[in-house]
Amino acid sequence: MVPDDEPIESGTTLKLIPVVSGG
């Protein structure tokens, strides 16, 4: 897991994008 700085938001967004976009 990445530290609590900015990768958190990037990882969450990147994970939410494919989930919502992919289906």
Q: CA 9 to CA 4: how far, in whole Å?
A: 9
pLDDT tens over the chain, length 23 residues: 555 555 555 555 666 666 655 54
H helices within 1-23, ranges in order?
7-22
Q: Is the dihedral of CA 21, 11, 13, 16 positive or negative?
A: positive
Please indicate, yes or no, whether the overall pTM of this predicted structure exceeds 0.75. Answer: no
The predicted pLDDT at position 7 comes to 54
Q: φ and ψ at 22, to 5 degrees? A: -70, -40
Buried-state track 2-23, b at ≥16 Cβ within 10 A, e below 16: eeeeeeeeeeeeeeeeeeeeee
The predicted pLDDT at position 12 comes to 59
The predicted pLDDT at position 20 comes to 59
The predicted pLDDT at position 4 comes to 56
